[in-house]
Amino acid sequence: MSDIPTAAPPAATAESRLSRADVAHLAQLARLAVTDEELNLFAEQLSVILGAVAQVSEVAAADIPPTTHAVPLTNVLRADVVVASLEREAVLAGAPSVEDDKFRVPKILTEEA
Amino acid sequence: MSLIRSSAAELAARIAAGDVTAVEVAQAHLDRIDAVDPSVKAFLHVDADGALSAAKAVDDTRAAGERLGALAGVPLAMKDVVVTKGLPTTAGSKILEGWRPPYDATITTRIKDAGIVMLGKTNMDEFAMGSSTENSAYHPTHNPWDLSRIPGGSSGGSSAAVAAFEAPLSIGTDTGGSIRQPAAVTGIVGHKPTYGAVSRYGLIAFSSSLDQAGPFGRTVLDTALLHEVIAGYDPCDSTSIPAPVAPVVEAARDGARGDLRGVRVGVVRELSGDGYQAGVLAAYDAAVAQLRGLGAEVVEVSCPHFTYALAAYYLIAPSECSSNLARFDAVRYGLRVGDDGQHSLEEVMSLTREVGFGPEVKRRIMIGTYALSAGYYDAYYGQAQKVRTLIAQDFAAAFEKADVLVSPTSPFVAFGIGERVADPMAMYINDLCTLPASLAGTPAISVPCGLSEGLPVGLQIMAPTLADERCYRVAAAYEAAVTPVLASIPELTV
Amino acid sequence: MTVTYGDAVAAYEPVIGLETHVELATASKMFCGCSTEFGAEPNTHTCPTCLGLPGALPVANEAAIESTIKIGLALNCSIAPWSRFARKNYFYPDMPKNFQTSQYDEPLCGEGYLEVEVDGETVRVGIERVHLEEDTGKNTHVGTSGRIHGADYSLVDFNRAGIPLVEIVTKPVPGTGAKAPEVAKAYVTELRDILRSLGVSDVRMEQGSLRCDVNTSLNRPGESWGTRTETKNVNSLRSVERAVRSEIIRQAGLLNAGERIKQETRHFSETTGDTRPGRSKEEATDYRYFPEPDLVPLAPDADWVEQLRAELPELPAARRARTIASLGVDADDLQQMANAGVVELVAATVEAGAPVGEARNWWTGYLAQKSNERDVEPADLGIAPAHVARLIELVADGSLSTALARQAVDGVLETGADVDAVVAERGLKVVSDVGALEAAASAAISANPDIAEKVRGGKLPAVGALVGAVMRATSGQADAAAVRSILLQQLGVSE
């Protein structure tokens, strides 16, 4: 049987400790109705992960530009030409609920941004 | 040679020669799936009708005297993260259970146009997040070498299917190692192309700046043949590189002659040592010696920032995925939970995502949400993107001294199902060797390099951006010099 | 105690800011090839990209980039040599991806300015930035009121999702004092005219292709700027003015009472003319912006920018200066025309052949009056400069009297037909048959001997009543001046 490695990542620091409330807040932002058990489990697990990833701050990178793409492309554009859209039947086919050829959703609480 | 044990190149030649029909080939593989997949569980959906119909079309084309593509009639398994029109596409998640896309991914179109016969969709870690396929919302996939073990991930289904002779070719996607690591632990070849070399249009996105689709095969040549079908510029993908497809087939054939004189191979100091299984290191050292034996000059290179690759990756990927997965909101497609007239839309969204996403997905969404938050962006996501630059610079410096870089593909051989699921970090370190090339966007291949305790080990060969053919050349040279690892795979009890 | 506007601006200094969204008139959407045509059947102009289907990717529309650069150039903005799209992350059912592809700290156009005229003074409105983003789908709320509050459920149409949207943000504008509402309106008006002349958008506020949010704050003289509120749903130029005015009054009332201004978003009501609070947010939304990884940076090179600059048409300010110069009117007349918002209209009427004085009289007189009655801008009244020029011509050649010309205007406004058609249809014609006029004049004199006596006795103004009688007898179609001469002549009285 293979062994679990000994090389362990750095332990969670005080800054990367997440509380249940922190997790609840993140879950709310991400629209995840997490359960009570999950709050405990995730607080623990996310704290460990954050502790590990916080390692990036050890790297001196003040003057280093960020990389977003491996091959730096610019000005990738398309001509302003109309292309056929999907047939409406195909558009609505996968929808959980449809009315009047529109997507039906339950009552919205938050206001438009 | 039985049809299912043949290589893709062999099958294509026999079909083109009229020696065997594409329908016979397809049927043989469908029969194999029926026989072994109840144990391997590589597939989420098998499209027998579609496959036989595509196979027949190839036979008809041949009968009409028209030209056939290089892989016409060869069966293929498609990772379920790739959108296939009319066929269920789940990304390994419950939130897309039953969804049939109204469009094809670009690579799906290219595969169909090439006359390749798609057998079905394969299992994967949910939304490509994982290294063992245990995060699939449906069921785990079992390593054909030892059914109690994982086949790697996230493309575990695609890898297992090829290793189990259910298909000679398959498509996977690699974000942090999800093609290379499964290839390594199942004893087959898998390649992560240069970022931008293969279209992402139709790949259900996990981490946009890292995701790449790539080929699996049992041989380097088969993998190269599939690479040339899917690679190439796509105007539907803004990150697609407008460059000619790398001549990987030619490189694979050339490499098979076994002459690596003049090739400088760089051994990466940081991708070895403590935490790597002894058997893996032994197989790796032997492989490096073999390369030297083929005429390569072996040098040691140091890439000091590679040790930060895991931290950078587990900031960048979750950040991007927290945004990419926001679209799964119960409005336009997918699962909807709680719509009973009592709940608001916001509640329905939250309930749906809670039920529809598994724990690893939720963890990464929350890490990503945190890392992008105001006040944290600079220290986390922003800093990680800078580390990425440093890693790219390490590669550039190393490629001054070497033509390719090598490392083990993974620190471990296939571990037991259930062994690492409780500890996310224990799972993440599977990617230690594969992450640097992901972050830099450079191409990397995994080729089988022996066994450790009876389980396959992979050799990773990395090349500079857009020089994918170097990976294939060196891999082919190595492969030609050793006995195929798959020759040792235990027979699956049918 | 209710505060008056005068009290408010006497005690406080307003600072205003405006955020305008412009829907570009490109043929296809910002990141996909779906048609942008208005009014299509729901969900017929959608594709994997603008629906946010799994696996879909965006590709930027070249014409939209060019339009944005042109807008920036017209607003004297710097054009960024390097610019990126960013994801603005939040959940809403009209958002296919639950993030909007927009721009954050690397907009395509940087600082600039726009000068507007208010009551003869030039106000320079600083522009903070101009950037490019995509529009959302459209929600329809189903319930008793059709508004979101109290709706039972909603329906979403994604045809509009992905249409290119340019966002133009001003710097805060202090120092406008009591004229803040006019400055705000003048800014939006001028901006609209610029966008129209560039041809980049339909800029129809009532159709939503030009949307305005107005920010307002008050501070006592010498103090730092106060808390600002944002007012949305400002759908016409007049609403811009009314919204600022009402916010100033409301905030002054609160401040006078020693209360705090809450930083919030408010909604303008067309019917009541005031603003009401939106749902207040506990905390400012964190959009978790990061650079859009599915798109690559925009790096417009100097040659491209210069080529676009060369393609710019004559902008409204330059055109106005040229028009004014060509009109050759004095400053007071010009001011009068500007106040009525009719400088361009007068110029167009002159261009159609009318003398400038007549054109000015009509547009600042009867037509301005009609515009006020109908609560529209003179340009939207429904009568074109060419019509007005024709009217002036008909009056000049004696076919119509001024009174008849006004009837013709009413006819054009009612029916939309042109001047000649209205004149023919209603039989508008000056009675110029001298014999008929003389007969009518005699009849009037005979019928009103007392008045005739007065006129003969030296009270010339009294002849007006006789003129009126003749006008009635001729159904208003006599030339009043000619009638007056004939009457005086018959009465044996000279002017």
Pairwise CB contact (< 8 Å): A5 & B440: no
d(CA B166, CA A61): 48
Span B464-485, pLDDT tens digits: 999 999 999 999 999 999 999 9
Q: Give the pairing of strands B264-268 and B297-301.
A: parallel
> Does residue A33 carry a pLDDT above 70?
yes
Cβ–Cβ contact B201 with A under 8 A: no
Say whether residue B395 is in contact with chain A using an 8 A CB cutoff.
no
pLDDT digits (tens, 9 = 90+) for B396-440: 999 999 999 999 999 999 999 999 998 888 889 999 999 999 999
The pLDDT score that the predictor gives to residue B9 is 98
Is residue B346 situated within a structural domain?
Answer: no
- Region B87-94: mean pLDDT is 98
Task: Indicate the pLDDT class of residue A12, thresholds 50, 70 and 90.
Answer: very low
The two three-digit tokens of residue C67, written as one number: 């339009």
Residues of B in contact with A32 (CB under 8 A): 350, 353-354, 357, 362, 365-366
The answer to whether residue A10 scores a pLDDT higher than 60 is no
pLDDT at position C2 is 76
- CB-based contact C93 A113, cutoff 8 Å: no
Task: Tell me if chain A has a CB within 8 Å of the CB of C282.
Answer: no
Q: How many CB atoms are located within 10 Å of the residue B297 CB?
A: 15
Interchain pair A80, C27: CB under 8 A = yes
User: What is the predicted pLDDT for the residue at A113?
Assistant: 55
Chains that touch C (3 or more CB pairs under 8 A): A, B
Tracing tokens 């409330």 back to the chain, one arrives at: A21
For chain B, percent of residues with pLDDT exceeding 70:
100
Nearest CB among A4, A29, A59 relative to B426 is that of A4
Rounded mean pLDDT of B178-187? 98
Q: Is residue B35 part of a domain?
A: yes
Burial class of residue C147 in the structure, from the number of CB atoms within 10 Å of its CB (0-12 exposed, 13-18 middle, 19+ buried)? exposed
**In this structure, are residues C392 and C358 in contact, taking their beta carbons and an 8 Å threshold?**
yes
What value, to the nearest 5°, has the Cα angle with vertex B438 and ends B378 and B9?
A: 160
Average pLDDT along chain C, 495 residues, taken 10 residues at a time? 88 96 98 96 98 98 98 98 96 97 97 92 96 97 78 95 98 95 96 96 90 95 94 91 95 94 90 82 79 96 96 89 82 81 88 91 93 88 92 90 88 89 85 82 91 89 90 82 88 82
What lies within 8 Å, CB to CB, of C478 at 6+ separation is C401, C430, C431, C437, C440, C470, C471
pLDDT of residue B272 exceeding 80, the answer is yes
**Chains touching chain A at 3 or more Cβ pairs under 8 angstroms?**
B, C
Distance from C-alpha of B153 to C-alpha of B42, rounded to nearest angstrom: 12
Write out the H or E segment, with its range, that includes residue B338. Answer: none
Residue A86: list chain C partners with CB under 8 A: 46-48, 51
Residue B167 lies in a domain: yes
In three-state form (DSSP H/G/I as H, E/B as E, the rest C), the secondary structure along chain C is CCCCHHHHHHHCEEEEEEEEEEECCCCECCCCCCECCCCCCCCCCCCHHHHCCCCCCCCEEHHHHHHHHHHHHHCCCCECCCECCEEEECCCCCCCCCEEEECCCCCCECCEEEEEEECCEEEEEEEEEEEEEECCCEEEEEECCCCCCCEEEEEEECCCCCCEEEEEEECCECCCHHHHHHHHHHHHHHHHHHHHHHCCCCCCHHHCCEEEEEEEEEECCCCCCCCCEEEEEECCHHHHHHHHHHHHHHHHHHHHCCCCCCCCEEEECCCCCCEEECCCCCCCCCCCCEECCCCCCECCCHHHHHHHHHHCCCCHHHHHHHHHHHHCCCHHHHHHHHHCCCHHHHHHHHHCCCCHHHHHHHHHCHHHHHHHHHCCCHHHCCCCHHHHHHHHHHHHCCCCCHHHHHHHHHHHHHHCCCHHHHHHHHCCCCECCHHHHHHHHHHHHHHCHHHHHHHHCCCHHHHHHHHHHHHHHCCCCECHHHHHHHHHHHHCCCC
For the segment B18-38, the average pLDDT, to the nearest whole number, is 98
Q: pLDDT at residue A7 above 60?
A: no
| Residue numbers of the domain that contains B279 | 3-302+397-488
Please name the amino acid found at residue C144: T
Asked if residue B332 belongs to a domain, the reply is no
Q: Which domains does chain C have, with CATH numbers?
A: 5-309 (no CATH), 325-426 (no CATH), 434-491 (1.10.10)
pLDDT value at residue C283: 59
Percent of chain B with pLDDT over 90: 95
CATH number at residue B207: 3.90.1300.10
What is the predicted pLDDT for the residue at C280? 60
In contact, B168 and B6? CB cutoff 8 Å: yes
Task: Confirm or reject contact between C290 and chain A (CB < 8 A).
Answer: no
- Chains linked to B by 3 or more Cβ pairs within 8 Å: A, C
Is residue B384 included in any domain, yes or no?
no
Work out how many domains chain B is built from and give that number. Answer: 1
**Looking at the complex, does the CB of residue B21 fall below 8 Å from at least one CB of chain A?**
no
pLDDT for position A5? 37
Q: Could you tell me which of B205, B448, B170 has the C-alpha nearest to residue B323?
A: B205
C chain contacts of residue A84, beta-carbon cutoff 8 Å: 33
Beta carbons within 10 angstroms of residue C324's beta carbon: 17
- Contacting residues of C for A103, CB less than 8 Å apart: 43, 93, 155-156, 158
C94 touches chain A (CB under 8 A): yes
Instruction: Please judge whether C290 and B377 are an interchain contact, meaning their C-beta atoms are less than 8 angstroms apart.
Output: yes
Query: Which residue in the set A26, A31, A48 is minimally distant from B353, CB to CB?
Result: A31
In chain A, which residues have their Cβ closer than 8 Å to the Cβ of C55? Answer: none
- Say whether pLDDT at B68 is over 50: yes
**Are residues C299 and A69, on separate chains, in Cβ contact within 8 Å?**
no
Cα A43 from chain centre: 17
Residue B288, token pair as written in the block: 């490096």
Residues of B with CB under 8 A from a CB of C: 82-83, 89, 91, 96, 99, 101-103, 105, 200-205, 208-209, 235-239, 319-320, 322-323, 326-329, 331-333, 345-346, 349, 369, 372-374, 377, 381
Please tell me what DSSP assigns to residue B102.
Answer: S
Q: What is the DSSP string of B366-420?
A: HHHHHHTSTTTTIIIIIHHHHHHHHHHHHHHHHHHH-SEEEEES-SS-PPBTTSS
- Regarding beta strands B169-174 and B212-217, do their DSSP bridges make them parallel or antiparallel, or are they unpaired? antiparallel
- Residue B392 contacts A where some CB pair is shorter than 8 Å: yes
Query: What is the band of A1 on the pLDDT scale with cuts at 50, 70, 90?
Result: very low
Chain C (342-361) residues lying within 8 Å, Cβ to Cβ, of chain A: none
Q: How far apart are CA B386 and CA A64, in angstroms?
A: 6
Q: What is the model's pTM?
A: 0.88
Q: How confident is the model at residue A4 (pLDDT cuts 50, 70, 90)?
A: very low
Residue B39 Cα distances to B79, B160, B167, C203, angstroms = 18, 11, 16, 64
Residue B105 and residue B199: Cα distance in Å, rounded? 9
- Between the CA of residue B119 and those of B30, B73, B227, what are the distances in Å? 7, 11, 18
Q: DSSP letter for B458, please.
A: E
Query: Binning pLDDT at 50, 70 and 90, where does residue A6 land?
Result: very low
Separation CA C149–CA C145 (nearest Å): 8
Joined together, the tokens standing for residue B129 give: 């997040």
Cα separation, C105 vs C286, whole angstroms: 15
**How do residues B302-316 score in pLDDT, each as one tens digit?**
999 999 999 999 999
Q: What is the model's pLDDT at position C400?
A: 87
pLDDT at C331: 76
Q: What is the DSSP string of B159-221?
A: HHHHHTTS-SEEEEEESSSTTHHHHHHHT-EEEEPPTTSB--TTBPPSSTTT-EEEEEESSHH
What digits encode the pLDDT tens for the residues A45-81? 999 999 999 999 999 888 999 988 878 899 999 999 9
Distance from chain centroid for Cα B448: 15
C-alpha to C-alpha distances, C289 to B371, C5, C88, nearest whole angstrom: 11, 40, 5
Identity of residue B122: T
Q: What is the dihedral of CA B17, B20, B22, B27, to 10 degrees?
A: -170
| Nearest C-alpha in A relative to B361 | A32
Q: Is the pLDDT of residue B62 over 90?
A: yes
Identify the CA nearest to B132 among candidates B184, B58, B76, B210: B184
Identity of the residue in C55, C96, C295 whose CB atom sits nearest the CB atom of B205: C55
